[in-house]
Chains A and B, each alone.
Chain A
Amino acid sequence: MLVVAFVSFSLFNFVGDPINNMVGEETSDEERAELRETLGLMDPIHVQFSRFVVNASKGEFGISYQLRRPVSELITERLPATIELVVISALIALITGTLLGVYTGINRKGFLSDIILAVSLLGVSLPTFVIGILFIYLFAVILGILPSFGRGEVVDFGFWTTGFLTISGLKAIILPSVTLSLFQMTYIIRLVRAEMMEILQTDYIKFARARGISENSIKYKHALKNGLIPVITIAGINIGTLIAFSIITETVFQWPGMGFLFIQAVQFVDIPIMSAYLIFIAFVFVMINFIVDILYYFIDPRIRVKGDVSSG
């Protein structure tokens, strides 16, 4: 976290002169110096950096150059859109990915498995924006059943805006979330499939068969539970990448989320937003890894009881 904070801090400070960006052409040198002093830019770098960290931990990232509003306000405004998009696509990716992965892992030679795998190859290799544009063309332009951009109508709770409560909001989230989830989904299909195939070969599955345990219990209780352990790690990391990928998807679908905000910020060299976004993404990654580690503790008994292993 500190490293990322430092990188975004250097962005903030060393890429161009912030004062130049903030003030107009006709400001005199004295005024500029005064502004520097009030903003604390004359302090030594380590003092500035510690102030940056303290402020960041309070959620203050300064004022956007372009929109002239506090960055924290902009982020809380845009955050719900991104979170909703990412959560929905993560769910789609996880659920369909696992289901299809298990299916193809068990029915290795079936016709349907071959089709799923062929399509999944397509999902891995096609870039997100191409898929997004294809979807827009198909569902919004030709069929005209789904909106091609925006969030639709949203319900505002003050601290959170949601598109889940209106029909247009729900319709609007379908295309972007499916687009976003496709890559992760294909990834999870292949991972689950490989895990299932490997686990069905292990001794304990063979031993379970030798005890006469029914095939269904072997596949869904014994094998699947073991197979999901690595999936959790990968899925955890990938939720992070989902957020990163959401930049592209949000741009394609004009989704008013953080990624879209970030792209706009890049266009206008709006450094406070960029550094805040960086810090936010890093924070999410750290949190997700933390949650995955905790999940591990509940899922894998080998980690839970450490030091209690009898010798042998």
Chain B
Amino acid sequence: MAEKNGNLRTEEIQLNMGPQHPSTHGVYRALLTLDGERVVGVENIIGYLHRGIEKLAEDRTYTQFIPYTDRLDYLAGMLNNLGYVQTVEKMMDIEIPERAEYLRVIMAELSRIASHMIMIASMALDVSGWTAWFPPFRERERILDLFEMVCGSRLTLSYMRIGGVANDIPEGFLPNLEKFLNDLPRMIDEVNGLITGNEIFKARCQGVGKLDLDTAIAYGVTGPNLRASGLPFDLRKAKPYGIYDRFEFDVPTLNNGDSYDRFVIRLLEIEQSAKIIRQAISNLPDGPIKAKVPRVIKLPKGEVYHQIEGAKGILGFYLVSDGGTKPYRLHIHSPSFVNLGVLPLISIGETVQDFVVNIASIDIVLGEVDR
């Protein structure tokens, strides 16, 4: 589309951003239409990390599928584990031991903190605040160390089992966890000092990528992104799963719905997750960590949908069983995929630099978008 601007002929250009680009957070690709530095069109192009996980599920037993869930949102493996095993358990109708429930909550919230830390760090990096990248990553490393203590791996955890968890926590886990929680406010202070309060950062993010509440609901945006737009909707409160109804915590909500709020809300949520973990530690009962589950799991014929509050929003598993040992069909409702849909809308009319900030603030993980 060319237009006459005085005697100068200006033309829009198409800029291909990704799948290999420093700040597309994986293999996301955007086809931008630019008018100078201004974005006039965005096309989301996904699928570079498609592994057919949903199809693979149809050829795996219910237990065998657990490791695949780690590869969805690989920054919050525990939450995916949790969502999946709870879906299967919902169909099996079994009683989960108390200790396992509490351990699940501790791990899930740790995973949430780790995921939010990545978002904070990478958003700081995307506005070139290099130094602010380090405090969150330094502390996240300690979460990964804790995961390593408990299940031997750091990223692809596969810790949850149908009916409980894989291992009990080892000696020294709880003291380390307490120490980590005590150091958490220091990290938040560091991030606030380095980047949250920085005038340039505020100028870059405030009012950028504004997502109003109606649009957010219309597009099905969930999780921190929705709460930053002003709706205090959190499945842990609204429709508690597991034992979340036993914990005392707030649902932080901000009103502007811009990139800055989406950044700040993650910091606030880290604090709330820490609060939940503290309560879980103090109430942690003794006992078994796994219910009696048959060696070969067969689900009754039927279908089930279960959703949890993932790190990025509502993570849902829709499972259809034909009565065999393998799922007939498994569909994963992934929050990143849904949230990504709103990115073109909020980025049009802003600059290329804002677009980069918007990708970071939406917080997508391509493993989950493409599945």
Partners in one complex: no
